[in-house]
Structure 1
């Protein structure tokens, strides 16, 4: 005697379980697809501008400006002959509303933020004019910052946005991946960045630049004390008339001395050091050593010279020539 029916029941039960599992997986896949579509559509709407408004505010008696832009918008500050003017351009999206504020007496406080209930980011761009000589302080996010010909102290703290500053007095900048371009500075300059490039020109009592992978280009800076530090970024140092201290790890250092200078100290690990000295400068004393790197010195040297270069590398090469 056999019980074939029992085998049929067992087979049918397995088929039902397989079909049930298939339905569950099908439902889960459909839900994932719907969720994906939802997030894609939401992301598109979140970064699509739905409305744009412009707000303008005038203020008198302004001696300082403080800006806190928590949106991805840009900030531009220019010099004015008399009163200050703040123009804010606000761009909303489906999920967030841009808001701005202007307040203060003497010190003008300007702010911007996003009131949002879901994902996305709004934008507030500022165009601001302030009297010449006003102190300017800007905190931004991913937007660019520019300050032109204000001739006051300028401080900028930014994340990934670039900073372009022209005609400022004392300058302090702190950025992450943003580039920094400073022209015609007339005061102390202190620049800190991570992967952003730095270009500096001007005059003052001191210049300090510190970056990781960013390149540094000192076009010309008249100061008694200049300090530049990079990790993998290259350095191009020109027109430095005071004492110069340069430190780099794998970055290369290029020094151009077209006129008399103070003491120059440069040190790298695997980076090369290349120095060019104008014939009109006269003899210099070249010091330093290289562990495994080559040294090529083709310039008038004098151990009693008033100007000296201390150039030290580990595996990097050293070259000093005249022109």
Structure 2
């Protein structure tokens, strides 16, 4: 075995330390470049708003209803790079009775917090990157590219398509249709029919009424809890255990379908 001279070892250590220092400096430089400016503002929309449409490229969106509010309030936080000019003007607009929430361009994000004065407002549209929280509205039809989607206290139909992130729903009166590429689906106090499809992640559904449920997972566990009632049950597990304590009634009009290619299936009655 050939031994390295002591001086060479010292030189090697110094060189390694220099490389590490450069790497750390580069990382810190990247962090500095990512530091952003931001500002907050508030706007009041006095016109009637019956629909809110999401067209935000990047940023979180919260829309909630508040009884007694006389107008629609739009609060926002705009974030942009330190080496860029401060964005000017508003990023929302009215198209008839539809309030449109736009983005602010490349390398810029808008976080919205909108309060509407009525629970009769419909929500639709897309949010490319960021969490979406909707509470106390009439109906929902949204697509999220990346981020969690939370929907609560909705009397009507809810449709959510999420590429990457969780879908959370509670107190939904109408039909719920959810699709997730990667993330979990968690639903509670569901009074309408439920149809959910999850490519990679778990599904957990708690029903508040005797309604149809179709829950399908590519890879993940499926857990469904239903009230006492008559159900026609169909379960299919490619690789996983089946824990079913709801008896199937072939004459029942309400169907429960649970499927998972890889994961456990659990069906319980309250």
- TM-score, structure 2 as length reference: 0.76
Aligned counterparts of 2:27 and 2:267: Cα–Cα separation in 1: 59
Task: State the partner residue of 1:194.
Answer: 181
Shift of 1:77: 0.5
Aligned counterparts of 2:26 and 2:258: Cα–Cα separation in 1: 60
Q: Name the CA shift for 1:93/1:314 in 2 (closer, same or farther; >3 Å).
A: closer
Task: State the partner residue of 1:173.
Answer: 160
Task: State the partner residue of 1:159.
Answer: 145
Q: 1:103 aligned to 2:78? A: no
Aligned counterparts of 1:276 and 1:110: Cα–Cα separation in 2: 46
Shift of 1:84: 1.3
Q: 1:56 aligned to 2:47? A: no
Shift of 1:319: 9.6
Aligned counterparts of 2:140 and 2:184: Cα–Cα separation in 1: 19
- Confirm or deny: 8 A CA contact 2:186 2:203 kept in the other structure: yes
Q: 1:74 aligned to 2:60? A: yes
Task: State the partner residue of 2:3.
Answer: none
Task: State the partner residue of 1:10.
Answer: none
Q: Name the CA shift for 1:262/1:101 in 2 (closer, same or farther; >3 Å).
A: same
- Confirm or deny: 8 A CA contact 1:66 1:137 kept in the other structure: yes
Task: State the partner residue of 1:208.
Answer: 195
Greater RCO structure (CA 8 Å; 6+ sep): 2
Aligned counterparts of 1:193 and 1:105: Cα–Cα separation in 2: 32
Larger Rg: 1
Give per-residue Cα distances to partners, 1:252-271, cap 9 Å, x unaligned.
xxxxxx51232010111112
Task: State the partner residue of 1:183.
Answer: 170
Task: Find the residue that maps to 1:193 and give its secondary structure.
Answer: strand
Q: Which piece of structure 1 moves more, 134-143 or 266-275?
A: 134-143
Correspondence list, 1:230-241, <5 A: 230-239=217-226
- TM-score, structure 1 as length reference: 0.64
Shift of 1:35: 11
Shift of 1:276: 2.1
What are structure 2's unaligned runs of at least 5 residues?
1-20
Q: Name the CA shift for 1:104/1:276 in 2 (closer, same or farther; >3 Å).
A: same
Shift of 1:317: 9.3
Q: Name the CA shift for 1:34/1:191 in 2 (closer, same or farther; >3 Å).
A: same
Q: 1:270 aligned to 2:261? A: no
Task: Find the residue that maps to 2:129 and give its secondary structure.
Answer: coil
Shift of 1:235: 0.6
- Confirm or deny: 8 A CA contact 2:222 2:258 kept in the other structure: no
Aligned match for 1:220, one of 207, 218, 239: 207
Structure with higher strand content:
2
Shift of 1:275: 1.0
Please report the RMSD computed on the Cα atoms of aligned residues, expressed in angstroms.
Answer: 3.6
What are structure 1's unaligned runs of at least 5 residues?
1-32, 116-120, 240-257, 278-283, 287-303
Shift of 1:74: 1.0
What is the number of residues matched between the two proteins?
A: 243
